[in-house]
Amino acid sequence: MDWKPRAAALAAQATHPVSPWWTPVAETPRHLLVPRWFTPGPDGWTVRDGAADEEAWAAAAYADTTLVTRVGSVHADQAEPGRVTVGRPTSSSTLPSLVVSMLEHGRLAPGMRLLDVATGSGYSAALACHLLGDEMVTTLDVDAYLTRAAAGRLERVGCSPYVVTADASELPGVFDRIVSMVSMPRIPASWLRGLAPKGRLVTTIAGTGLIITADKTPDGGAVGRVEWDRASFMATRAGGDYPPLLDELFTVASQEDGEVHQSPFPVLDVMQAWEVWSMLSLTAPGIEHRTGTGDDGARLTWMLHPDGSWARARTAPGEHTTTVHQGGPRRLYDILDAIRRHWLKHGELPVYGARVAITPDGETTLSRSGWTARL
């Protein structure tokens, strides 16, 4: 495969000519790190084998897009061709522009020791090795198969970082920079202990589109901010898969009437409204969102929570108000509407640009314009 022109085109899309990351992107053969990947279909995921279709392989590997490499507990390397795999993505090769953005937020420079959290395909580690040198890069993942596969493929492309199999909170040393390619529910205290004086951490917060950057302070904590750009990664997992979806509660939410009222706002696809989604996730973490369309074209949405709370909302065709049904211990849709009212009143929500203060034990507080939230 003549991959270098494609990698150069990807560098032009994912970064810019004066960026220190231009050359790493242009000189990294991403296709060798992602030999197989999953593509979605109506019934599930089907594996694609790059060697069987080199043109499709090149097109996928050098597009600025995320390639799913694990669904449920099934790795793409081990998936049976032609067989549909059902489940949620549990590992991927993240779109290169987002990888570059996270590394840029790290303010990396030669001589710095980097911990790359969530090895995945090894692409972020490969870029870092080009800039910092192999000996300065440690990459970590909870999945032993992924770390073995990535180590071999990284070596094949000429990179030899220190590859570790461990939980995201188990740091194998002290680092000047910690950059996470997986979303964290909160900042582990171990990150503060494993961050060198004046070190910097970069991560996204699980269930949100928020990027947190923070620099270590002399007391062992860190201060920083929520960046104005947005990003979302898969959340950390302790086992081979994420907990099952709330299908039984979805059945309840689809059939029961619960408490009924009218909302003045039309149905919103919360997952596509990053500001609202992030604010809602900080206010009521753990909500599962589903959307649909009625037979008459009505817009439908469901909100489900592990505590048994649920909401179902419907906006009829041509209407701007919504019929809401709610049940369980909390009124999830009321929380959502309160956030939407705040946005209408102030023209924004305070999540992006918020100040971040992290104590040495990892307690993280976000604050802006009189609003605060603790992770």
> What would the pLDDT profile of 299-327 be if each residue is shown by its tens digit?
999 999 999 999 999 999 999 999 999 99
What is d(CA 32, CA 66) in angstroms, rounded to the nearest whole number? Answer: 15
- Domain segments of the chain: what residues? 4-230, 247-346
pLDDT value at position 233?
Answer: 80
* Mean pLDDT of the 188-207 span: 95
Residue 25 has pLDDT above 70, yes or no: yes
147 closest CA partner among 134, 174, 132, 166: 166
> What's the CA gap between 310 and 332, in Å, rounded?
7
For residue 237, the model assigns a pLDDT of 67
Contact (CB, 8 A) for 330 and 307: yes
Name the CATH topology of 4-230: Rossmann fold (3.40.50)
CATH topology of domain 247-346: Double Stranded RNA Binding Domain (3.30.160)
Higher pLDDT: 324 or 232? It is 324
Write out 278-333 in H/E/C secondary structure: HHHHHHCCCCEEEEEECCCCCEEEEEECCCCCEEEEEECCCCCCEEEEEECCCCHH
Q: Is the pLDDT score of 181 beyond 90?
A: yes
pLDDT reported for residue 238: 63
Instruction: Return the number of other C-beta atoms located less than 10 Å from residue 43's C-beta.
Output: 9
Strands of 364-368's sheet, edge to edge? 162-165, 137-141, 114-117, 175-180, 195-204, 210-216, 222-230, 355-358, 364-368, 371-374
In sequence order, the 6+-apart residues with CB closer than 8 A to the CB of 25 are 7, 10, 11, 14, 15, 96, 100, 127
Percentage of the chain lying above the pLDDT 70 cut: 98
What average pLDDT is seen over the chain? 94
- Give Cα 112 to chain centroid, integer Å: 25
For the chain, give the longest Cα–Cα distance: 61
